[in-house]
Structure 1
Amino acid sequence: MTLCVIPARGGSKRLPRKNIRQFCGSPMIAWPIRAAIAAGCFDRIVVSTDDDEIAEVAEGSGAEAPFRRGAELADDHTPTVPVIADAVTRLNIAARTPVCCLYATAPFVAPADLQAGLRRLQDTGAPFVLSVTTYAFPIQRALRRDASGGIEMLDPARMQTRSQDLEEAWHDAGQFYWGRAESWTRGLGVFEAGAQGLAVPRHRVQDIDTEEDWQRAEWTMRAMQMEGPP
């Protein structure tokens, strides 16, 4: 058995109701649900939510919403791991079952990447496999900007280092996290030693926390729809 859990609480502050807001013609949460269905690697796709409207939209998009998450797991500061652990416990999932946390605001997640993440988990025995991508600019040449607009390098020693001579840096793409049920219920961090990163291209990675993020994501999606799958 394999399980997909999509955490989607109702109380988003910066972009109210963003999990079910219309995104390029469909509720935002419908996009990752469709990707999970298309991946064909999940026996169940379950949405963990505290919100009846989100549950209704999720079910209409092809997922299950068999329970309502408790208020203690639905505030602004609730980490992801206990939310997935709660779903695993409620659903009585066996310890070795592969469980994927798939974010509700990941409209660019690709079915092939979900499949590849599962294979990586099975082949490596890693505690977690997560989507990662590269920074667009060398982080070693980052700047600090003060209230007056003045700038300085965070690492002045890198001032004369050529960009191509700096180590490439990666970050969490914020799309999905594969782990066995026992990894979630033990409360391990997704960056636990031995975790594996599955590379995804930068053009399919977009945090969606502000109106500017949302607009950029819609522009990207429309461009991808015009050009066809990447």
Structure 2
Amino acid sequence: MLALILARAGSKRIPQKNIYPFLGKPLIAHVIEGALNSALFTQVLVSTDSPQIAQIAQDHGAHIPFLRPASLADDFTPTLEVAAHAIEALQIPLETPICVLYATSILLQACYLQDARHALQQYPHYKYALALAPYASSPYRSFSLTPHITPLFPQHLQERSQDLPSLYHDTGLFYMGEARHFAKLEPLLAPHSYPVVVPHLHAQDIDTLDDLELAKLKYQLLHGCQNPS
């Protein structure tokens, strides 16, 4: 199985987010080392448009066989198109299992990758396996301000939170499947994807500096380490 880490340069809210210092190393370095240490991948590849990110990734053990074209590195380029480009550029056989990661997948644990691989082997009707997490607070209790407080689901306001249906969100930790499905741009969030449910501690969007600090706390808890800085 191949690991493909996506790491473009043009992040806006946290400039150079994918190589931002994180507990003594660039963010992407933790993801590369986690993938290598999992012993699940024959090779760890990085798709990036940045020579700087490419050099850092190479220094930490990843392979960078090409620089991604700028047309596939803007704010709106879908993950599937970037993965499909790598598959075509490297002529990866369509039956090859691939695990797409982000440079922000720092909380990923190898046990979830193993669960995903096992599920795809055991249930071949699934095209992908991916990580979902339950919402910490039920969206059924959400409100809009338009401009006043307006419940979005007024029919659920009188229900106890434990009686509301569980809902889940995509964590962005990983997307695993055969190259053929990525190459055909078959959707990731669909009934043909197997859900690997992970706890809140193991997932964190990193879009702001506050998110980054939360990710550090979670990483330290998971790895039993302390921030030296």
Written as runs of structure 1 = structure 2, the 5 A alignment for 1:50-199 is 50-125=49-124, 126-147=126-147, 150-199=148-197
1:9 paired residue number: 8
1:8–1:19 Cα contact (<8 Å) kept: yes
| Further displaced range: 33-42 or 50-59 | 33-42
> 1-side partners of 2:224 and 2:120: how far apart?
34
Letter in 2 for 1:21: Y
CA contact (8 A) 1:24 1:221 kept: no
Distance in 1 between the 2:114 and 2:222 partners? 21
Distance 2:45 2:223 in 1: 27
Structure 1: how far apart are the matches of 2:214 and 2:38? Answer: 26
Return the letter of the residue paired with 1:132: L
**How far did residue 116 of structure 1 move?**
1.8
The one-letter code matched in structure 1 to 2:137 is F
Deviation at 1:146, TM superposition (A): 3.5
- Separation in structure 1 between the aligned mates of residue 17 and residue 162 of structure 2, nearest angstrom: 38
> In structure 1, how many angstroms separate the alpha carbons of the residues matched to 2:166 and 2:33?
32
Q: Residues of 1 paired with 2:119 and 2:25: CA distance?
A: 31
Q: Does structure 2 retain, via aligned residues, the 8 Å contact 1:36–1:114?
A: no
Query: 1:162 Cα deviation (Å)?
Result: 1.2
Structure 2: any 5+ residue segments left out of the alignment? none
In the alignment, what sits opposite 1:18? 17
Cα deviation digits, residues 110-165 of structure 1 (max 9, x gap): 12212221221222121110011111111111111244xx3121011111111111
Distance 2:210 2:146 in 1: 23
Partner of 2:222: 224
What letter is aligned with 1:136?
Answer: A
Cα 1:143–1:19 shift into 2, 3 Å: same
Contact 2:5 2:46 in 1 (8 A): yes
Distance 1:209 1:42 in 2: 28
| Alpha-carbon distance in structure 2 between the residues aligned to 1:25 and 1:227 | 12
C-alpha contact 1:50 1:68 (8 A) present in aligned 2 = yes
Cα distance between partner residues in 2 of 1:129 and 1:174: 12
- The answer for unaligned runs of 5 or more in structure 1 is none
The 3-state SS of whatever aligns with 1:179 is strand
In the TM superposition, structure 1's runs of 4+ consecutive aligned residues that sit over 6 Å from their partners are none
Given that 1:39 and 1:115 are in contact with CA atoms closer than 8 Å, whether structure 2 keeps it comes out as: no
Task: Tell me, in whole angstroms, the C-alpha distance in 1 between the residues paired with 2:70 and 2:26.
Answer: 23
Q: Which moved more, 1:188-197 or 1:65-74?
A: 188-197
Q: Which amino acid aligns with 2:93?
A: A
Question: TM-score w.r.t. structure 2 length?
Answer: 0.94
Shift of residue 173, structure 1, vs aligned partner: 1.1
Amino acid at match of 2:159: T
Q: 1:118, 1:18 → 2: CA distance?
A: 29
Question: How many Å apart are 1:5 and its aligned residue?
Answer: 0.5
Deviations, residues 52-71 of structure 1 (Å, cap 9, x unaligned): 01001111111111100011
CA displacement at 1:222 relative to structure 2: 2.8
